[in-house]
Structure 1
Amino acid sequence: MHALQAFTPNPNPLAQQWLSALVAMVPILVMLITLGGLRWKAHYAGLLSWAVALVIAVAVFSMPVGMALSTSAHGFVYGIFPIVWILLCAIWMYQVTVVSGRFDDLRTTFFLISDDPRVLGLLIAFCFGGLLEALAGFGAPVAIATVMLIAIGFSKLRAAITALLANTVPVAFGAVGLPVLMAAQTAGLPVSEVAPITGRICALLCLIVPFLLLAVIDGKKGIVECWPIGLFVGAIFGAVKWVVASTAVYNLTEIFAAVITVGAAIVFMCFWSPKGSQEAVPRVGRPIDPSIEAPFVATEKTDTSDLNARTIAMALVPYILVIAVFSVAAIPAVKSALVATDVTFAWPGLESLLTPAGEHSSHATFTFGWLSTPGTLLAIVALLVGLIYKVPMRTVLGELWINAKKLKFTMVTIGSVVALAFVMGDSGQTLGLGLWIAGAGAFYPFFAPVLGWIGTYVTGSDTSANLLFSSLQASVGDQIGHKALLVGSGAAGGVVGKMISPQSLAIAASAIGIAGSESTILRAVFKWSVLLLVFMCLISGLMSTPVLGWLLP
């Protein structure tokens, strides 16, 4: 029996980088056209895009058929666990609160901060969502923030779009700083050189995103009537991010930013209140697309007079537990103990798969983090919520099964999209596309965020995008200078690709319970993603010149 011949990806199989990149771009274009243009159901678009990437991997990039199928299978399984598992448990936790009867109390509690749904939308999606991204990541912030927005009266699509748009700024420092750490390590740079740059670019983004959120939530009136809180929240969040990202506790950047901003906003609301709060309620709850959303039902003014300290505390139990459980799990000693339970094994058929650098691919092994994954931590929270709310365990577990059945098509979507990402990355397609963009020479700093954007769109993860492209960013930096800037801006660019990632779209669609709404959501958020990407490209490029060079640490 002969040993399998090692396969090293060739990012330029056609001898012309632009041509190789053009072919590598085809699966991405197929996904965008079928999902956003032709409005296919996401699982069909995902499967076709994966099939196209598989054919290109074998026919153009010369990847062995067995290896291409094996890495696809690995990607599909990884999509189910941990990604779908995290989504399922986030929705499960929410459903336990619904069947317990505490859901209305939660909605009412939010209105103690403000009776304006636009203000609450900012605090929940931007601040609390940022805290969840810092602690968990992997789609949990979008799923949880979406259902919380629905709880305060948002229409379903508006809630999903708001949560996706808000889940940009915190992504680079999500999962306790993992994305920016991986960017630095992959590039061979100290994280102390990369984190401040990423933090400062994202901090500038904080001055824009709150106003885009207000536009999504309530159009021009949202901006005109609520711009003071938008400016205040963005400035505080950005300032804290700017400062903390440059310190030794960079990995806690989003935790500090979220908590301090919410506290400051509550104080701010004691001295300012927006106009037109009650008039905004029906506008926020009005369906964006009546053809797929439930009919509009006017909501009455929320009465908070029946709330007391115990009712409020019980209503907030699920989210207090989320923060507590994930905070404990992030303690280094606890995190190490959880990771020690991971089960790692070789993935069949990938033992001869190498990286372009000639090293063994990380995809040659599979890690089953049954206890360390955020999904299991959310499952623990769901069970605790059931016990505290005295929901029969049979009902609690029944909700898990009911929602697992509802997610069957989402499982196919996410599994096929991750399979697409794996086969594109392992065959050299993604790197080929990146190398072509990197050929911009001295103008490259203006395009560095684009690699992060593409990588996060394809993989659904800023961490994965950084692992994929940071070494390329560093190589270009060695040639033209500004090495830390290119690596840091690439990590920052990934945050605006998150909202259009098919994985994120599937998570949002599942959270609102509208099957097949991914295409509608994509069309709504794509323009914001491109707008923010252009802004980041300008900032990155100008930071390589005297115009904004003073922003560099």
Structure 2
Amino acid sequence: MYRQVLDPVADSLGWSSLVAALPLAVLFVLLGALRMRAWLASLIALAVSLAIAIWTYGMPADQAFLAGTEGAAFGFFPILWIVINALWVYNITVATGHFDVLRRTFAQVSDDQRLQAILIAFSFGALLEALAGFGTPVAVTSVMLIALGFQPLKAAVLALTANTAPVAFGAMATPILTLGKVTGESSDTLGAMVGRQTPILAVFVPLILVLILDGRRGVRETWPTALFCGAAFGAAQYVTANFISVPLADVVASLVSAAAVVLVVRLRRPHAPARPVIAGGAADEPTPEFAARAGRAEAPADSRADVVRAYAPYAIIIAVFVVCQIDQVKDWLNGATQTVGWPGLHITAASGKPSTLPTFTFNYFTTPGTQMLVAGLLTMIALRVGAGRALRAYGTTLVQLRWAILTVMAVLALAFVMNASGQTVTLGTWMAGAGGAFAVLSPVLGWLGTAVTGSDTSSNSLFGALQITAANKADLSPVLMAATNSSGGVLGKMVSPQNLAIAAAAVGLDGREGDIFRRVVLWSLLFLAGMCVLSGLQSTGVLSWMVP
């Protein structure tokens, strides 16, 4: 039995925090500064975390390695299980040609790539986040952007940046439901509080996408549409989370924002750019493949039946996920769920209470990955795809994600080692000692948790209770601090090695995760700074009226 220690270095929480942060520092330096492949950087950071766990925290070596194996398993199931099946459905539509039809229908809304980026990366990505989450929107929207002529690197950057505001309500609000369980607070109240933070972020995300894609000129020419889309999303997310249903917040917001873009395009003819908007300048010069695509003759009009079949997979996905959210169906599916203790792993928290970390849940049918698999099987029927063709598409998906699979499993192993040994709790406890200033630092804790684990759900599991404890000590609102953990966590999603690996694999840039990281990290930190200011103001009389 290993009991966690919070201050193993000179009995000092501050010095211990510096040592505990080393695995993360190594990971981000290797990715951002040295541009090392994500899987290799993750394995090196994992080795550093194991060394610190064993020789600094005194964790028995077998316990440290077992924690790593549990993390790797969790990385595959349920996280990679979701992404693999989501990309499989996408690859089926590519193999049958229906994805090209879908791409053309999106292009018909507007031939302006800047508006296409908003519609696909932000609105459609939010819908995928609402249904599946866990990297699915980044994988699917990035390849959709490539199909429309975007450069791979820029497509990945746009998809990652857009995958922010919807994350807290992703996978039918799984992060917030989890936060409610670990904190004891009402998930409806927490969802309402998050719904008073992330909608403000949503207003600016489409503008940032245009800025990334086409600079200040793009913002100047398309800001009314971008702003209207962001405002529509934010308003819908706020209203739904506060007055209708927390799990449906992203579903409603994504559809409303997409309708807003279409409405503006229909009512107002946007100024089309004089030159093609190619992302990123010299680093992203058009490849012959994209140059050839740009010069193709206009494709013939698709029939109504073709369009219906192109949208059928996504209608099926929505239907499957909605049915699985019905209480009676969910209870029935939960009957197959098994919870087991990870063999040989025994951990006690620093407080002396048994840690829940060795508990592993096999939610076979309630996980979005299995539901996505069912949607894929129904898609095979709807598109009349044979078993052989579907299996080949699955094989293509596994090959496409091979390095991402290794990266995600290594990163989750790193996260579990840090969590089990106490490294992560050391960092959180040190930050929680900031007193009243913790209101400003609270989003950083959520950001850190998501950056490490790649999941806002995992970040809430990790730091949710700590946020409540810190709030009570500093006389702050527990609801505000717990919700802020989730709102801050959404901003760590774009820099998490897990998401970087998924994005790189989806666009065919394996090994260039560092390049993607360097292009998104500043936006992540800028958004985080804004969330810190908002949280600080909401903890004072200035905006305390926003706290339910």
Smaller-chain TM-score range?
over 0.9
Amino acid at match of 1:26: L
Amino acid at match of 1:37: A
For 1:355-408, what per-residue CA distance to the aligned partner results, in whole angstroms no more than 9, with x for missing partners? Answer: 344343333232233333222222233333333333332121022123323433
Aligned mates of 2:149, 2:504 — CA distance in 1: 17
For 1:187-210, what per-residue CA distance to the aligned partner results, in whole angstroms no more than 9, with x for missing partners? Answer: 232234322222111111112111
Q: Residue 479 of structure 2 aligns with which residue? A: 484
In structure 2, the CA distance between the partners of 1:147 and 1:298, relative to structure 1 (3 Å rule), is closer
2:362 alignment partner, one of 346, 368, 371: 368
Q: Residue 426 of structure 1 aligns with which residue? A: 420
**Given the two structures, how large is their TM-score scaled by the length of structure 1?**
0.93
How do 1:475-514 and structure 2 match up within 5 A? 475-482=469-476, 483-514=478-509
For 1:466-512, what per-residue CA distance to the aligned partner results, in whole angstroms no more than 9, with x for missing partners? Answer: 11112111112112222222112121100000110111011111111
Q: Residue 320 of structure 2 aligns with which residue? A: 325
Comparing 88-97 with 180-189, greater Cα deviation is found at 180-189
2:164 alignment partner, one of 162, 168, 174: 168
Aligned mates of 2:8, 2:288 — CA distance in 1: 47
Amino acid at match of 1:174: G
2:545 matches 1:527: no
Aligned mates of 1:372, 1:210 — CA distance in 2: 32
How do 1:154-553 and structure 2 match up within 5 A? 154-247=150-243, 249-277=245-273, 279=274, 281-284=276-279, 288-290=283-285, 296-297=291-292, 299-300=294-295, 303=298, 306-350=301-345, 352-482=346-476, 483-553=478-548
- Whether contact under 8 Å (2:63, 2:344) holds in the other structure is yes
Aligned mates of 1:303, 1:357 — CA distance in 2: 67
Aligned mates of 1:280, 1:492 — CA distance in 2: 37
Cα deviation for residue 333 of structure 1 reads 2.1
Aligned mates of 1:171, 1:408 — CA distance in 2: 25
- Whether contact under 8 Å (2:403, 2:501) holds in the other structure is no
Amino acid at match of 1:224: R
Percent identity between matched residues is 40
Aligned mates of 1:128, 1:302 — CA distance in 2: 27
Aligned mates of 1:293, 1:361 — CA distance in 2: 55
Amino acid at match of 1:345: V
- Whether contact under 8 Å (1:173, 1:179) holds in the other structure is yes
Cα deviation for residue 41 of structure 1 reads 0.9
Cα deviation for residue 301 of structure 1 reads 8.1
1:72 alignment partner, one of 68, 83, 88: 68
Q: Residue 126 of structure 1 aligns with which residue? A: 122
Aligned mates of 1:436, 1:96 — CA distance in 2: 48
For 1:194-236, what per-residue CA distance to the aligned partner results, in whole angstroms no more than 9, with x for missing partners? Answer: 2222211111111211111111222222211110111101111
- Whether contact under 8 Å (1:129, 1:167) holds in the other structure is yes
How do 1:52-91 and structure 2 match up within 5 A? 52-91=48-87
Aligned mates of 2:322, 2:149 — CA distance in 1: 29
Aligned mates of 1:156, 1:92 — CA distance in 2: 20
Cα deviation for residue 32 of structure 1 reads 0.3
Aligned mates of 2:355, 2:235 — CA distance in 1: 39
For 1:238-292, what per-residue CA distance to the aligned partner results, in whole angstroms no more than 9, with x for missing partners? Answer: 1122222223622221112112222233223221121025x45452597843599
In structure 2, the CA distance between the partners of 1:138 and 1:330, relative to structure 1 (3 Å rule), is same
Amino acid at match of 1:84: L
- Whether contact under 8 Å (1:94, 1:147) holds in the other structure is no
Any idea what SS the aligned residue of 1:345 has?
Answer: strand
Q: Residue 29 of structure 1 aligns with which residue? A: 25
Aligned mates of 1:375, 1:192 — CA distance in 2: 25
Cα deviation for residue 121 of structure 1 reads 1.4
Cα deviation for residue 343 of structure 1 reads 3.7
Amino acid at match of 2:206: P
Any idea what SS the aligned residue of 1:283 has?
Answer: coil
- Whether contact under 8 Å (1:204, 1:238) holds in the other structure is yes
- Whether contact under 8 Å (1:135, 1:326) holds in the other structure is yes
Any idea what SS the aligned residue of 1:358 has?
Answer: coil
Amino acid at match of 1:507: I
Aligned mates of 2:217, 2:298 — CA distance in 1: 24
Comparing 120-129 with 455-464, greater Cα deviation is found at 120-129
- Whether contact under 8 Å (2:452, 2:496) holds in the other structure is yes
Amino acid at match of 2:442: A
- Whether contact under 8 Å (1:35, 1:518) holds in the other structure is yes
Comparing 330-339 with 503-512, greater Cα deviation is found at 330-339
Cα deviation for residue 303 of structure 1 reads 4.1
Aligned length: 546
Aligned mates of 1:287, 1:153 — CA distance in 2: 16
Aligned mates of 1:520, 1:240 — CA distance in 2: 34
Amino acid at match of 2:526: L
How do 1:128-143 and structure 2 match up within 5 A? 128-143=124-139
